[in-house]
Amino acid sequence: MHNAKQPLLVIENLHVAVDDKQILKGVDLTIYPGEIHAIMGPNGSGKSTLAAVLAGREDYTILQGRVFFDGKDLLEMSPEERAAAGLFLAFQYPVEIPGVSMLTFLRTALNEIRKSNGEEPIDTRTFLQRVREAAQLLGLGNDFLQRAVNVGFSGGEKKRNEILQMAVLRPKLAILDETDSGLDIDALKIVANAVNSLFGTIQSYLIITHYQRLLNYIEPDYVHVMYDGKIVRSGDKTLALELEAKGYDWLRSETLSSIELPSTTT
Amino acid sequence: MSEDLKIIEEVTGSDYKYGFVSNIEEELAPPGLNEEIIRFISQKKNEPEWLLEWRLKAFRAWQKMKEPKWANIHYPPIDFQSLHYYAAPKKQQRPKSLDEIDPEIRRTFEKLGIPLEEQKLLAGVAVDAVLDSVSVATTFKEKLAELGIIFCSMSEAIQEHPDLVRKYLGSVVPYNDNFYAALNSAVFSDGSFVYVPPGVRCPMELSTYFRINAAKTGQFERTLIIADEGSYVSYLEGCTAPMRDEHQLHAAVVELIALKDAEIKYSTVQNWYPGDKEGKGGIYNFVTKRGICKGPNAKISWTQVETGSAITWKYPSVILLGDNSVGEFYSIALTNNHQQADTGTKMIHIGKNTRSRIVSKSIAAGKSNNSYRGLVRVLKKAENARNYSQCDSMLIGNRCGAHTFPYIEVENKTATVEHEATVSKIGEDMLFYLNQRGIPTEEAVALIVNGFSEEVLQHLPMEFAVEARKLLAISLEGSVG
Ligand SMILES: Nc1ncnc2c1ncn2[C@@H]1O[C@H](COP(=O)(O)OP(=O)(O)O)[C@@H](O)[C@H]1O
Ligand SMILES: [Mg+2]
């Protein structure tokens, strides 16, 4: 079915090292518009590294491989160019920016992206409307928008704030790095609902998670299991349930029994 | 060094945008400093005898003084005899209306974005512009006069309001206060004068723009602001200078007097030429600013944004004499490349229930050095005095320095003095987060620095806050390092 379309993201044989330590050891992944992919895997398997490399974080050495985003060579682009091209990363650990209000931050980000794409700055009314709608969707009040970015936010607020930004910036591909961890069940439902309702405006998701529970609310088309820097298994959503039932040790005993696995906490 | 940091370094290495030289005929006194020159200046300005005597006393005191060395700044000795102590645009007659101002001078101020044109004045800012040593134009004078407010150049005040000048000149910063204040007292040429009568709330911001134009000149303005009982005034000064290879000396004195129930808000946006990337040229900004809350319930608030000058040595202070009086100091000092700043405040609590608040934000980039130096002194009779100080420093790159020297002297047990200090760095995590949201590094740094400075920026009058934000961004272009 998707052969008619161009893939949104193509990762080919990606090898990545940090400080001479190899972390990604040959990752292949293709995401088409309209697809939701999930990557699961134990702590330390390289999920955040993959997300960071896709977003353009420096400090990582690309040893081998290629990545295309919307037909363009992603690895040649700066982080802000990637953002302008429509790639968004919801951070596992969002960063505090003291003294910069959410509104200023969102407006600056949105207008920089628009500028890169040859568009005029957004007018104030449309902007405020969009931001308020997004805040409402995430169950955050308007006063939240006056606060400094992530300063004094609870863990849950920080995670919801990432999705709020996604709702305002409307990327093509959103990578959610453990957005579910640290959320109570109500917040998890709010986030999942927001992600689902934005699907369409946002063409594709790559959802990184340690646990299966988020996938009860967001239904992935594909589930991949990352282990020791490689995708060792791919399947449909039933793979997530299988993992949940058997635990990551099952993977180890089945396919990777010779390698020491980091402990998993479930 | 990471890529981002390199970019920031390139960005903060950008050029000074106010560095043009105006082609105006100048009348220069011969270089050097002696009693002759002082008499010349005093005579040029048609001053009364008492003022000449005062200048000479200051000069004699200065000759016995040594340049202060305690500040955390380093520079080769200044040859005070090689400087010109008087430079003035040649046109002798003071212009009577804005139309009479030398077109070249007007172009200069237009380039600086100073709203000399009447139409722009509708924005509601009264401007006194000081080019080199002479006040060029004071606008909105008549409108202010209706309220009894005097806003004019110091030279004019000496002619028109000698009693007020004589009563208050040197009353807060004595002629022998310190080396540079003594020098200023001896040779000051012009500056601004403000008097607000009792009970009057000045309806507009009063503003002075200082510009050094002539080569090898020192600039020594003297500003005196008096807020009579129950009055209010907000005053702003801005400063720029051409780019020149040699250093230029700027040694101003500002005195503020707030009587009972009066309030003075004094804001500075200082953008003197900082020198080039290698540290060549730039202004030496050695300034004495002090206010006194003379009566009960008086309030003085200093807000400064210091981005320019090769060296800044400046401690706007408040003497809290009246009971229940309030002193505030809000400061942003930004240094880049080879700039050095040693700045801060002194709050001297004398009256009962006096309160002071200090918020200092230092930003250092490039190879610059940025020090906060502050003194909070509570005297014996200052029952229930309260001070809160907060000094935050932000480092951009690894080759700059930020230092904090808070001095606290308390002689009254009922006093409460609180001091907090933080040092932070613009981290790669922060930059990456903003980059990922589409914000390029240069804009990201500006955003972070503006956020860091927000608590101070919000104390500036609106238009100037906007200017100051831009200035912070421009001054940091090319600096993440
Ligand atoms: N900046 C870094 N420096 C050194 N090691 C790193 C760095 N980032 C990640 N690693 C290491 O890479 C491995 C993969 O980490 P990560 O991608 O965060 O895994 P996950 O997100 O799957 O838990 C871990 O062993 C981690 O310690
Ligand atoms: Mg992770």
**Per-residue pLDDT reduced to its tens digit, B364-398:** 888 888 889 999 999 999 999 999 999 999 998 88
Is B438 in Cβ contact with A99 (below 8 Å)? no
| Residue A45 CB–ligand 1 contact under 6 Å | yes
Candidates B439, B441, B452: best to mutate against A (most CBs of A within 10 A) is B439
Which residue, among B460, B476, B477, B478, has the nearest Cα to B468 in the 3D structure? B460
Rounded to the nearest angstrom, the minimum Cα separation between A35 and chain B is: 22
Q: Which residue has the higher pLDDT, B433 or B122?
A: B433
Atom of ligand 1 nearest to the CA of A49: 17
Contact B437 A109 (CB under 8 A): yes
The angle formed by the CA atoms of residues A165, A196 and A124, to the nearest 5 degrees, is 35
Enumerate the H helices of A146-237 as residue ranges. Answer: 155-169, 185-198
Q: Any long-range contacts for A73-76 (C-beta under 8 Å, 24+ apart)?
A: A74/A9
Chain centroid to Cα B81, Å, comes to: 25
The answer for A10, left when phi > 0, alpha when psi is -120 to 50, beta otherwise, is beta
Residues of A in contact with B473 (CB under 8 A): none
CA gap A208, A45 in Å, rounded: 12
Confidence of residue B3 (pLDDT cuts 50, 70, 90): very low
| CA–CA gap between residue B437 and residue A177 (Å, rounded) | 15
Model pLDDT for residues B100-148, shown as the tens digit of each residue: 555 655 565 565 555 554 434 434 455 666 655 555 555 667 778 899 9
Distance of alpha carbon B442 from alpha carbon B9, whole angstroms:
10
β-bridge mates for residue B404, sequence order: B372
**A88 and B CB contact within 8 Å:** yes
Q: Nearest-CA neighbor of A85 among A105, A122, A63, A113?
A: A113
Nearest to A208 by CA among A70, A43, A61: A43
pLDDT value of residue B11: 41
Q: Kindly report the average pLDDT of chain A as a whole number.
A: 90
pLDDT value of residue A220: 95
Tens-place pLDDT, residues A225-248: 999 999 998 998 888 888 878 877
Say yes or no to pLDDT of B154 above 60: yes
Q: For the segment A75-110, what is each residue's pLDDT rounded down to a tens digit?
A: 999 999 999 999 999 999 999 999 999 999 999 999
Please tell me the distance from the alpha carbon of residue B252 to that of residue B102, in angstroms, as a whole number. Answer: 25
- Chains A and B: how many Cβ contacts under 8 Å? 79
Strand partners, B318: B291, B347
Dump pLDDT digits (tens) for B30-89.
788 899 889 988 998 899 999 999 999 999 999 999 888 887 888 888 888 888 787 765
Angle between helix B179-187 and helix B35-44 axes, rounded to 10 deg = 50
**In this model, does residue B21 exceed pLDDT 50?**
yes
User: Tell me: the pLDDT tens digits for B266-316?
Assistant: 998 887 777 777 777 777 888 999 999 999 999 999 999 988 877 888 899
Instruction: Using DSSP, state whether A146 is helix, strand or coil.
Output: helix
Read off the pLDDT band of B18 (50, 70, 90).
low
Tell me the mean pLDDT in the region B333-350: 89
Q: Measure the CA–CA gap between B365 and B274, rounded to whole angstroms.
A: 13
Helix (H) or strand (E) holding A248: helix A248-255
pLDDT in tens, A146-189: 999 999 999 999 999 999 999 999 999 999 999 998 899 999 99
Interstrand relation of A222-227 and A230-235 (parallel, antiparallel or unpaired): antiparallel
Task: Report the residue of chain B nearest A148, measured CA to CA.
Answer: B451
CA–CA distance, B416 with A217 (Å, rounded to integer): 55
Bridge partners (DSSP) of residue B333 are B306, B362
pLDDT higher than 60, residue B216: no
**Considering Cα of A142, then A148, then A150, then A151, what sign does the dihedral take?**
negative
Which residues of chain B have a CB within 8 Å of the CB of A89? 436
Closest C-alpha to B281, from B221, B355, B338, B223: B338
* Comparison of pLDDT for B288 and B481, the residue scoring more: B288
Gap between the Cα atoms of A122 and A107, Å rounded: 8
pLDDT at A255: 56
CA distances from B38 to B42, B81, B135, B192, B253 (A): 6, 13, 19, 20, 17
Find, among B23, B55, B288, the residue nearest to B189 by Cα: B55
DSSP per-residue codes, B250-283: E--EEEEEE-TT-EEEEEEEE------TTS-SEE
Q: How many beta carbons lie within 10 A of that of residue A229, not counting itself?
A: 23
The answer to whether B366 and B13 have CB atoms below 8 angstroms apart is yes
CB atoms within 10 A of CB B451: 21
pLDDT recorded at residue A249: 74
Backbone angles phi, psi at B93, to 5 degrees: -65, 135
Strand order in the sheet with B299-306: B134-138, B125-131, B205-211, B232-240, B263-270, B299-306, B326-335, B355-364, B386-395, B416-425
pLDDT at B477: 72
Question: With a 6 A CB cut-off, is A23 part of the ligand 1 pocket?
Answer: yes
Buried-state track B180-216, b at ≥16 Cβ within 10 A, e below 16: bbbbbbbbbbbbbbbbbeeebebebbbbbbbbbbbee
Tell me if residue B74 falls in helix, strand or coil: coil
Question: Is A120 in contact with A113 (CB distance < 8 Å)?
Answer: no
Per the structure block, which two tokens stand in for A101?
């209000």
Structure ipTM: 0.93
A82/B444 Cα distance (integer angstroms): 16
SS3 B130: strand
The alpha carbon of A181 and the centre of ligand 2 are apart by a number of angstroms equal to: 10
CB contact (8 A) between residue A58 and residue B4:
yes
Alpha-helical segments (H) within B288-440: 428-436
Tell me, in angstroms, the distance from the centre of ligand 1 to residue A151's CA. Answer: 25
- B449 with B474: CB under 8 angstroms? no
Tell me the nearest-neighbour CA distance from B417 into chain A, angstroms: 25
Answer for the pair B250, B271: CB distance below 8 angstroms, yes or no.
no
Structure tokens that stand for B285 in this block: 């900004």
Overall size of chain A counted in residues: 266
Percent of chain B's residues with pLDDT above 90: 45
The rounded mean pLDDT for chain B is: 82
Q: From ligand 2's centre to the CA of A256, what distance in Å?
A: 21
- Interval B158-211: pLDDT, tens: 999 999 999 999 999 999 999 999 999 999 988 889 999 999 999 888 887 766
State how beta strands A61-69 and A72-73 pair.
antiparallel
Q: Is B199 on the interface with A (CB under 8 A)?
A: no
Residue whose structure tokens are 């204040």: B181
Distances (CA, A) of B419 to B330, B360, B372: 15, 11, 13
pLDDT of B5 higher than 50 = no
- Pocket mutation for ligand 1, best pick of A21, A22, A23 (most atoms within 8 Å of C-beta): A23
